[in-house]
Amino acid sequence: MFIDSARITVLAGRGGNGCVSFRREKFVPRGGPNGGDGGRGGSVIFRVEEGYNTLLHIHHRRTVRAERGRHGLGSNKTGAGGKDLVVPVPPGTVVRDVATGEVLADLVRPGEEVVVARGGRGGRGNARFATATNRAPRHAEEGEAGEERELELELKLLADVGLVGLPNAGKSTLLSRVSSARPKVASYPFTTLEPHLGVMQVPGEAFRTLVLADIPGLIEGAHAGAGLGIQFLRHVERCRVLAHLVDLADEAPIGDRVRAIRGELRSYSTALDERPWVLVGTKVDAVVAGVRAAALEDLEKVAVRFGVEWLAVSAVTGEGMNRLGHLLSMLAGSREVGV
């Protein structure tokens, strides 16, 4: 199950109490106070871990609580500190404070971490309060409470290329053709109900790959929540380049379909409107022979109007797939495997 948002309460550990104690030994009549300090409470830490790609492991948890510090002991023994609680999160997780709306962290790289709730300080033992005028203090401090926060976590997929378009434009079929990903493919709209990632090897480049994200189909009003809408539009934000897919077998004007999706991206984020993109006509194998030339001509006109590269492909026959790989690699800047 793909879960890309979660709300959770984090509770850092309380500090341990200081100890009230006096040295009691034979032949030591004036031993004095020797109460130790309490240990510090554990903190709650979010850390990016490889192997996680959803927030499912957090989604069903109401609260997470770090360990409290131990109380101080006699003989000036400091209580043990509470163990920090490390919560693993997938790359691309945005952590936001619900109360203030402040973004606490945008965690992207493996190993990156943020302390979201700090443990409370341990209380001082009575040995700390001894003075020349008060040689036998009989009080100690209580430990401080740890921080408590309600947090909202939002996952934005990290991908080189985002596949966008109207429902049933052929995004899932194309992803399954160029990668080992197996998203659901069917001949009706909204087949894809959650984003899918796939790794595409650049044709002719043995050690270069691109990560592709199949974004569920968008419709007019998506930026305002229509259809699957804004629920998945955020995943497009992190893509370096967009591949806008249009079904060439569809009789609706290509220009109208492209403008509709471009308008939704622009309404959601002006930065998306400036992102490099390429226009890809899909299902060219399904276009009737007599109509093919006209369809390709319309596709070219729309691409020229928007000032972008274009090509026609078929995920069934493989036509145009090599060129698509090279074009996406050039626009996105392919990377070495393992980097």
What Cα–Cα distance (Å) separates residue 87 from each residue in 2, 4, 18, 264, 320? 18, 16, 29, 35, 44
Strand partners, 250: none
This prediction has a pTM of 0.69
Rg (CA), the chain: 29
Q: Determine the pLDDT at residue 188.
A: 43
133 Cβ partners below 8 Å, 6+ apart? none
Cβ–Cβ < 8 Å for 144, 120: yes
Identify the three-state secondary structure at position 60: coil
List the domains of the chain with CATH numbers. 1-155 (2.70.210.12), 161-336 (3.40.50.300)
Q: Determine the pLDDT at residue 332.
A: 79
Cβ–Cβ < 8 Å for 240, 274: no
- Average pLDDT by stretches of 10, the chain with 339 residues: 82 97 83 94 94 84 94 95 95 92 91 96 95 91 96 85 85 83 52 69 76 75 51 76 90 90 84 88 85 90 93 90 89 51
Distance CA 309, CA 243 (A): 10
Cβ–Cβ < 8 Å for 307, 301: no
Identify the three-state secondary structure at position 337: coil
The pLDDT tens digits for 32-62 are 899 999 999 999 999 999 878 788 888 888 8
